[in-house]
């Protein structure tokens, strides 16, 4: 059994959004097309409380892109984004919501970020995605969505580490590219870990 994982295809990651990814909207038609080929489609949704500690606004004197220590973990500071219940947190218009079987929300704990759809950044708590895939008898996942260098990357790395056959579709991902080369590095890292990049 194989599943399609749609990673964070939400308004705030699209052009004009709070944490806009260049050409982020271009993953939408790819996602819609691929949905037809998979018996199970799971979407992850970045879903932060409004005072989430990954927001630069919660760290007076610090700015977006700086790295701080959060409970012993390096944390990149982001603009306020994907606040629970906000317009920015909604799935992209144009994404075929009827094709989505399950939604997994992440980043809900104010104290820790969660790039991966499986675990928070400290691997302290599970989001329920692993259990869901196990229950559904999934052994193979394919990923599309945002962002290549953060949530796609860490979700794919966790998926292979969990023993799932994992692929990422290049035309269906786009990245933040905080530093030039971040996306290329992420793709290299995924490949080296055993992710099939197609």
SS3 label, residue 14: coil
**Cα-based distances in Å from 123 to 72, 159, 181:** 13, 13, 26
Stretch that binds Zn ion, among 45-53, 92-100, 161-169, 177-185 (CB under 5 A): 45-53
| Binding residue (CB under 6 A) for ligand VGL from 146, 168, 183, 190 | 146
Letters for 44-73 (x = contact with ligand VGL by CB under 6 A, - = none) are: --x---------------------------
| Binding residue (CB under 6 A) for ligand VGL from 55, 78, 91, 119 | 78
SS3 label, residue 198: coil
Q: Rg of the Cα trace of the chain?
A: 16
183 is catalytic: no
Interaction of residue 8 with ligand VGL, rule CB under 6 A: yes
Interaction of residue 8 with Zn ion, rule CB under 5 A: no
| Binding residue (CB under 6 A) for ligand VGL from 20, 41, 150, 157 | 150
Collect all residues with Cβ–Cβ distance below 8 Å to 131 and sequence separation of at least 6.
none
- Nearest distance from C-beta of residue 103 to ligand VGL, angstroms: 14
- Nearest distance from C-beta of residue 150 to ligand VGL, angstroms: 3
How many residues does this entry show for the chain? 198
Rounded to an integer, what distance in angstroms lies between the CA atom of residue 123 and that of residue 43?
Answer: 20
Of the pair 56, 133, the CB lying nearest ligand VGL is at 56
For β-strands 140-146 and 165-174, DSSP reports them as parallel
Rounded to an integer, what distance in angstroms lies between the CA atom of residue 198 and that of residue 195?
Answer: 9
- Nearest distance from C-beta of residue 147 to ligand VGL, angstroms: 3
- # binding residues, Zn ion (CB under 5 A): 2
CB 162 within 8 A of CB 130: yes
Which residues are near ligand VGL by CB under 6 A? 8, 13, 46, 78, 146-147, 150-151
Q: Which residues are part of the catalytic machinery? A: 8, 106, 151
């Amino acid at each position: 059994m194989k599943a399609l994982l749609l990673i964070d295809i939400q308004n705030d990651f699209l052009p004009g959004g709070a944490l806009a990814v260049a050409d982020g909207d271009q993953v939408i038609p790819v996602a819609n097309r691929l949905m037809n080929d998979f018996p199970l489609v799971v979407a992850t949704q970045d879903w932060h409380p409004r005072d989430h500690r990954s927001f630069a606004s919660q760290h007076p004197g610090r700015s977006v892109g700086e790295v701080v220590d959060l409970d012993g973990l390096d944390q990149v500071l982001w603009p306020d984004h994907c606040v629970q219940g906000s317009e920015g947190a909604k799935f992209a218009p144009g994404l075929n919501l009827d094709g989505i079987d399950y939604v997994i929300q992440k980043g809900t704990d104010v104290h820790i970020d969660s790039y991966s759809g499986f675990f928070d950044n400290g691997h302290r708590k599970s989001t329920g995605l692993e259990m869901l895939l196990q229950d559904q008898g999934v052994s193979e996942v394919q990923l599309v969505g945002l962002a290549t260098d953060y949530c796609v990357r860490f979700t794919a790395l966790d998926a292979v580490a969990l023993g799932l056959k994992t692929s990422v579709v290049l035309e269906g991902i786009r990245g933040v590219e905080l530093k030039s080369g971040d996306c290329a590095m992420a793709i290299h890292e995924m490949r080296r870990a055993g992710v099939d990049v197609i």
